[in-house]
Chain A
């Protein structure tokens, strides 16, 4: 991958836009198609694209393996923790009305936001972790052969 100048320039231009789009899909999921799953995948795609073009070492300095592995678990904890908080406030598990008892609709908004964030974090972590796992093995095919 030493010579692919166009790919590198285009990737540098695209990665930021892809991450921005991922955040849009994440936080606009209440109003338009999308949500945590899709946003997580798009976010992961930004890093995977960077990894493909610039090499695994570069992307792992940007997004180290240990962070990725912790993100996988963090998302599930955020999701399950949202339910625990609503339990603690005296409501049913994952009953988002608990967050603003005076106005249950707003509580739903907060709850959905938290839960979707958990989904997005886990999906991002898992997708990148799987990519790292595959790409980290010693490849048999050299770059020129493609």
Chain B
């Protein structure tokens, strides 16, 4: 009962945050709101007993992303440009997509149902085998690092590729060298 109440409150706050983010024009506040959104999602994941995911969401979503968005903000402007087009078409698209997603969930098993595929497929096997095959209490780590080691290797490669991509796109050691060259020059004229 109390868990239902907590879920209800958290989801309401999530919706309110999302609405506030849509209404907000000042990007600095928007970044803060998206950080709060991530934190609320992390809390929701904690109530779902997915502490590992909640941990990641809190660290990456609420921590790093906020810093990166602020850094981006420092390079661009702080106020959203007023939109000129009518908001009707995006609104219709969002409603249709949302309706399709809700329609899709109708087929899903009930929340926490014991005979859901997630509970009956491979999860019991992992839970049964981890204590004597891997011998560590945290089954999530056992699955992540051992049973699904290939997947995690792929994820690490993805993280690495993302880092390399960002470096190629925006940092550029070339750019740094260039800046050292024209250290005393005037900064280039800002584009309007």
Contact = CB atoms under 8 A, between A and B. Distances in A.
Contact of A136 (B77, B150, B171, B190): B171
Given A29-B138, A83-B149, A105-B134, 15 more contacts: A33-B54, A35-B52, A35-B144, A38-B59, A41-B56, A45-B59, A45-B63, A80-B153, A105-B132, A105-B133, A109-B136, A122-B159, A130-B163, A131-B67, A138-B187
Interface residues of A, number: 57
The secondary-structure label for the interface of chain A is: helix
25 contacts: A31-B136, A33-B52, A33-B140, A34-B55, A41-B59, A41-B63, A45-B59, A72-B160, A75-B160, A79-B152, A79-B156, A105-B134, A108-B133, A108-B136, A109-B134, A112-B136, A123-B159, A129-B166, A129-B167, A131-B64, A131-B71, A134-B71, A137-B175, A140-B190, A141-B74
Contact of B153 (A83, A131, A135, A146): A83
B157 interface: yes
Contacts of B73: 141
Contacts of A72: 160, 163-164
A133 interface: yes
A15 interface: no
Contacts, number: 154
B151 to A, nearest CB: 11
The secondary-structure label for the interface of chain B is: helix
B156 A118 contact: yes
Contacts of B150: 93-94
